[in-house]
Chain A
Amino acid sequence: MRMRTTGLLAVGLLLLAVSLPSAVIRRPAARPQITRPPLVSRLAGQAELRAKIVQAVKAARPFQAGEAIPVYRLAPVTRDQVAARAMELANRMLPTLGCRPLAAADLAADDDYLLAKPSGSVKVRAYLPSGFISVMDQDRVFQGKCAPLSEQQGAAVALAFIKEQNLVRLLPGERLTSAGCRRISTFGVRAEDGQRQEPTLSSLVVLVGRELAGRPVIGPGGRVVVFLGGKGEVVGLQRNWREVLPGSAAKVQALSLEVVVDRVMKELTALGGGKLPPAGSVVVERAECGYLAGGKHVTQAFLQPAYALHVVMRVEQGPQLARVVIVPAGDKLLEPLVSGPGEAKGVIRPSAKPEPGGDE
């Protein structure tokens, strides 16, 4: 009996000894597969994109964090002033375009806009919200012929013309800058075999920018655009130039580089529906830091500091999205910097799709 009890105890101890190690080293159940990229690589992609943005912003000569930046008040424009300035500018230019002078009655109003077509292909426009004025010989700008001028030659002609004609009034601390050139050209290509004619330069478009207190005025509102045709004659002019009142209206404190970059990253994330685009697909074509001036339809009371990054998302086949990301440079805004996007005014499509080939 005693022998039997000892034997059973020995077997029990043996079984316990065998089972214990397996209980201790049992493998945990396999985890589900994770398909998203590992966190380390996502963070690396984000860091790469951030580094790209930081580099671009630094190249734009950013404001120093905490620096007091003046905000400028713009002179308001009335309808009569815009009409008078359009007449003055047009009548200075029209003789050179072979046109008769404009009379006040020639400027017809349509919505927020004044229009005159004094003769031939000359078109005069003025926009009431901004004071934008355009005088152009459409034939010569879009379908004429221009000598192959270099950008430097073009800029020299344009700057001399602006000065001679006294086209802009500069405050102390303001100056004109060269903002490059673009070209309008035409050519023919044969349908059958793709044979191509030599392109004809219709006009050289000289972009003249504006600098205020050592900072560029950025956006379409900081421009005089001079169209050159023929041997280098001025055949068109657009002026989007809001007059600045002397002295600053207020001062704002410059945001730090980190905050600016955070805001740009946030904008880029919003574009991707909550996802940052891959760093490799983002090309910052241009980065600017200065005072933002809007387009011809924008009524603006202040020139406020801002950053603008011209970002193109490229995939293998070409550009996928081209977007200008605009963020404020100061800690407060005296008026909204940009207006938000709108929603569609379209109609709901009829639910039934028409049959192919149907006329109605």
Chain B
Amino acid sequence: MRGWFAACLLALCLCWGGALAAEVGVEGVKYFSHHNSALGESLHTLSYTFNITNGVWNRLNGGTARDFYFSRADCWEVDLRDSAQGGVDSSFADNVDLFFLCTHGNNTGDSIYLAYDAQQTEWHSNSTRWKLGDGDLEWLALYACRTLPVSSVDRTCNHFFYGLHMVLGSHDSLWDSWTTEECGRDFAQNLKDGDRVADAWLDGLSDWWCDQNALVASAERADTWGGDLTRTTMARDHWHGRGEVCSDIPHSQVYWYRVALID
């Protein structure tokens, strides 16, 4: 009888722990030799990529079956692309709570450009083919340059916010340097400390020596437009098990984006 009780208690604890455990997917591209050879480009090595991605993985990997960490040519653009458009997001980026990617970035024509070192099936991303949050994803974190220029946040985000809570990116350069190699671990530690997700990004990326240009954009409902900002996604979202997390906002109900940035 006692044994049964202990077993039930253990099972309950495991279930409860599983419910609280957040899933994380991490990808990092450091070398671009295949990309450069194929396209005749000259993307530079991002020397500290793995310091950043290891920092996130080491702190947030909860050992769930969905967690993954891929590097180099194992990072593919289809991981973010919508399944209906030939992608596999429902198995990777949109199958975890936080997807963190470190690579070269840019924004052209209101689409986020991310460079990859494997052609699976393209050499770079096109965010007009993303549909994020219709699966599990809440937070998309991109340690890459100029993914969200201030002037095109809305037009860029309109393409892919399908239940996604927040995109954590940049409005200009993010630095690849000895002094910013700690950004990944600081961001992850902030999440674990119970900081708001947006604050965790802005604080985690800042060493106040390199001019880091962090930016966060969150999906918001119509009733908070010009109203009570304490009820916004940006003000309420925390890492699972460390505070409040908002419910998903369907694509059709995303009325505005709240933007926070450092410049």
A32 is an interface residue with CB less than 8 A from chain B:
no
A285 to chain B, nearest CB (A): 7
Interface centre among B26, B104, B256, by most chain A C-beta atoms within 10 angstroms, is B256
Known A-B contacts A197-B226, A358-B90; the reply to A346 vs B28 at CB < 8 A is yes
Contact A324 B177 (CB under 8 A): yes
Q: Which of B80-105 contact A (CB under 8 A)?
A: 83-84, 86-88, 90-91, 95, 104
Q: State the main secondary structure of chain B at its contact with A.
A: mixed
Q: Which of B196-237 contact A (CB under 8 A)?
A: 196, 198-199, 202-203, 207-211, 220, 225-226, 229, 234-235
Minimum CB distance partner of B31 in chain A? A273
Which residues on B sit within 8 Å (CB–CB) of A297?
182, 185
Which residues on A sit within 8 Å (CB–CB) of B74?
346, 348-349
16 contacts between A and B (CB under 8 A): A143-B229, A183-B263, A191-B158, A191-B255, A191-B257, A205-B262, A219-B209, A223-B208, A318-B106, A318-B146, A321-B43, A326-B178, A339-B178, A341-B30, A341-B50, A346-B28
Report the number of A-B residue pairs with Cβ-Cβ less than 8 Å. Answer: 229
Which residues on B sit within 8 Å (CB–CB) of A113?
189
A343 is an interface residue with CB less than 8 A from chain B:
yes
- Total residues of chain A contacting the partner, CB 8 A: 75
Give complex CA distance A355, B173 in Å.
35
Contact size range, B: 35 or more
Give complex CA distance A167, B210 in Å.
23
B32 to chain A, nearest CB (A): 8
Contact B175 A189 (CB under 8 A): no
B240 is an interface residue with CB less than 8 A from chain A:
no
B168 is an interface residue with CB less than 8 A from chain A:
no
Which residues on B sit within 8 Å (CB–CB) of A285?
211
Residues 247-263 of chain B, each 1 if its beta carbon lies under 8 Å from chain A, else 0: 00000001111111111
Which residues on A sit within 8 Å (CB–CB) of B42?
272, 275, 277
Which residues on A sit within 8 Å (CB–CB) of B179?
219-220, 294-295, 324
Q: Which 8 A/B pairs are nearest by Cβ-Cβ distance?
A: A344-B71, A322-B173, A349-B74, A346-B71, A324-B177, A346-B69, A220-B207, A357-B83
Contact A357 B84 (CB under 8 A): yes
Contact B260 A347 (CB under 8 A): no
B125 is an interface residue with CB less than 8 A from chain A:
no
Contact A295 B207 (CB under 8 A): yes
